[in-house]
Amino acid sequence: NAGVMQNPRHLVRRRGQEARLRCSPMKGHSHVYWYRQLPEEGLKFMVYLQKENIIDESGMPKERFSAEFPKEGPSILRIQQVVRGDSAAYFCASSPGRGAGGYTFGSGTRLTVV
Amino acid sequence: GENVGLHLPTLSVQEGDNSIINCAYSNSASDYFIWYKQESGKGPQFIIDIRSNMDKRQGQRVTVLLNKTVKHLSLQIAATQPGDSAVYFCAENISPGAGSYQLTFGKGTKLSVIP
């Protein structure tokens, strides 16, 4: 039973380009959460999704960021027109039900904007 | 806003000694707490959790203590090993309700084990 799979592990983008981060939840998990971690900081909640639904995107910047979790395939976090301040580690977690107790985190995608 | 914070950003201990990592929280509505271990280049790994109706919980070599009076959480690691070297985060959660799925993380404490 594979864990939460994120790819790519490392992503380098030039300012103004688009970044697409993918997350495949654990088998049997239908709840996905994205968190962002700045250097030497704790993780900060961005968005919570279930299949085909965004439940809570209160932690996501209003512009340039979007997330989806389609019926088929991985969850995608998309950042358009990246800026240097978007450089961070982005972690995805999944759980079998709603609630923080069942979280399993992936290994993250480290985005570097140059 | 209310948040979780840590007293000590770095902690160095001798191998075999016990480690204590502290965490202060300020949200009185939080009733579920988790300690995570994060090794370099990896995602947070669950260590132990505790609900607010308890004041102590033990795992393998780890103990979490919760003092709701002073809103303080600690993680004790017995017989610290080199493999324990990592950054440790406490995280809080409010359940039930709209916040039941969100974790609020502190900034972390880096534990370095000296062989």
Say if the Cβ atoms of A42 and B107 lie within 8 Å: yes
Q: Is B83 helix (H, G, I), strand (E, B) or coil?
A: helix
Q: What is the pLDDT of residues A6-22, one digit of tens each?
A: 999 999 999 999 999 99
Is residue B62 predicted with pLDDT exceeding 70? yes
Determine the length of chain B: 115
pLDDT at A99: 75
pLDDT at A83: 97
Q: How confident is the model at residue B6 (pLDDT cuts 50, 70, 90)?
A: very low
SS (H, E, C) A78-103: EECCCCHHHCEEEEEEEECCCCHHHC
Q: How confident is the model at residue B59 (pLDDT cuts 50, 70, 90)?
A: very high
Q: Please report, for chain A, how many H helices and E strands are present, in that order.
A: 0, 11
Q: What is the pLDDT of residues B37-55, one digit of tens each?
A: 999 889 999 999 999 999 9
> Under an 8 Å CB criterion, which residues of B touch A?
4, 32, 34, 36, 41-46, 49, 89, 91, 93, 95, 98, 100-108
* Single-letter code of the amino acid located at B50: I
Over range A20-47, report the average pLDDT. 93
Say if the Cβ atoms of A100 and B98 lie within 8 Å: no
pLDDT at B2: 37
- Residues A102 and A95: their CA atoms lie apart, in Å, by 5
> What is chain A's Cα-based Rg?
13
8 A C-beta contact, residue B105 and residue B93: no
Q: What is the pLDDT of residues B63-75, one digit of tens each?
A: 999 999 999 999 9
Sign of CA dihedral B36, A104, A57, B29: negative
8 A C-beta contact, residue B44 and residue A91: yes
pLDDT at A32: 95
Q: What is the pLDDT of residues B24-36, one digit of tens each?
A: 987 888 889 999 9
Q: Looking at the complex, report in whole angstroms how far the Cα of residue B79 sits from the nearest Cα belonging to chain A.
A: 26
pLDDT at B96: 58
Is residue B4 predicted with pLDDT exceeding 60? no
- Residues A86 and A113: their CA atoms lie apart, in Å, by 7
A38 CB contacts (<8 Å, ≥6 apart)? A44, A88
A95 CB contacts (<8 Å, ≥6 apart)? A29, A31, A33, A101, A102, A103, A104, B101
Q: What is the pLDDT of residues B85-112, one digit of tens each?
A: 999 999 998 765 555 788 999 889 999 9
Q: How confident is the model at residue B3 (pLDDT cuts 50, 70, 90)?
A: very low
Q: What is the pLDDT of residues A59-108, one digit of tens each?
A: 999 999 999 999 999 999 999 999 999 999 999 999 988 777 778 999 99
Q: Is B100 helix (H, G, I), strand (E, B) or coil?
A: helix
- Return the exposure string of B17-37: e unless at least 16 CB atoms fall within 10 Å of the residue's CB, then b: eebebbbbbebeebbbbbbbb
pLDDT at B9: 84
Q: Looking at the complex, report in whole angstroms how far the Cα of residue B81 sits from the nearest Cα belonging to chain A.
A: 23
8 A C-beta contact, residue B111 and residue B19: yes
Q: How confident is the model at residue B57 (pLDDT cuts 50, 70, 90)?
A: very high
CB pairs under 8 A between A and B: 67
